[in-house]
Amino acid sequence: QWIDRARIRILKYEGSVEETGVRLNVVKDEKIIGPIIRQIEQATSIVGSMLRDFTQLDKPSGKFITVAEYPSFAWREAIINAVAHREYSIYGTDIQVKLFENRFEITSPGNFPSLIREYNIKENHFSRNPKIARVLADFGYVQEMGEGVYRMYQEMQLAELPEPIFKGLQVSVCVQLFNNTERRRLKSKVDLIGKIKHSEFPNLSEDEQNVLLYALENQNRVTTRECVVVIGKTGDTALKI
């Protein structure tokens, strides 16, 4: 109510690079305001609806299973930490959650608190806003022992994904989670091909196959703009495919 831009902004981008101007590639932009607890609830709900599931072969069972793009705990903890530890005296910006093709990224105003740095964040804990931390603990969002970041590393490792990356910028902290999309798509491709019964599929070009598989993976829907990203060709070529 009293702190300007004490909000969360969620941006989803097409591709893996943030473009500007005429090449602006933002496909979704949500701004969340209100009490902190409500911001966390709404942000996790919106981000959860934007993330994807992948189908991959489970080697022990020999069956195909559905795997989340990122471990739920890891990206939720990143959002909660941003709210808990942002520097609220910085009025000119907000918490920004960015979803790219290859990563989840969240930036929070204010540099690392106290003696916390990139190299010791997994083992050390410090609350910049202890009253906010206490409220979040009372609501069950955090435990004040500070093991959340350590568990983020564990969850990413169990999912066979790269470790979280924490960056201290000039006036903010950025957390990145990478999803290893290309490897997971290779794993899911076998399952998707198994769903296609038409005998002509092997005779299609590689671009045609990739677009068809993309459509099958996305409820049989695909736009020309998405085709451009999938096959890396011009709009006219994508439309033809």
Which range (33-37, 49-53, 191-195) has the least confidence?
A: 191-195
Which range (1-10, 26-35, 114-123) has the least confidence?
A: 114-123
What is the pTM for the complete model shown? 0.73
Which range (60-69, 173-182, 213-222) has the least confidence?
A: 60-69
Tell me how far apart the alpha carbons of residues 25 and 15 are, in angstroms, rounded to a whole number.
8
Q: What confidence category does residue 181 fall into, taking pLDDT thresholds of 50, 70 and 90?
A: low
pLDDT exceeds cutoff 70 at 241: yes
Q: What six digits make up the tokens of 190?
A: 């076998």
Q: What pLDDT shows up at residue 72?
A: 95
Q: What pLDDT shows up at residue 55?
A: 67
Say if residues 155 and 127 touch (Cβ distance below 8 Å): no
Say if residues 69 and 56 touch (Cβ distance below 8 Å): no
Q: What confidence category does residue 157 fall into, taking pLDDT thresholds of 50, 70 and 90?
A: very high
DSSP 198: -
Tell me how far apart the alpha carbons of residues 64 and 115 are, in angstroms, rounded to a whole number.
45
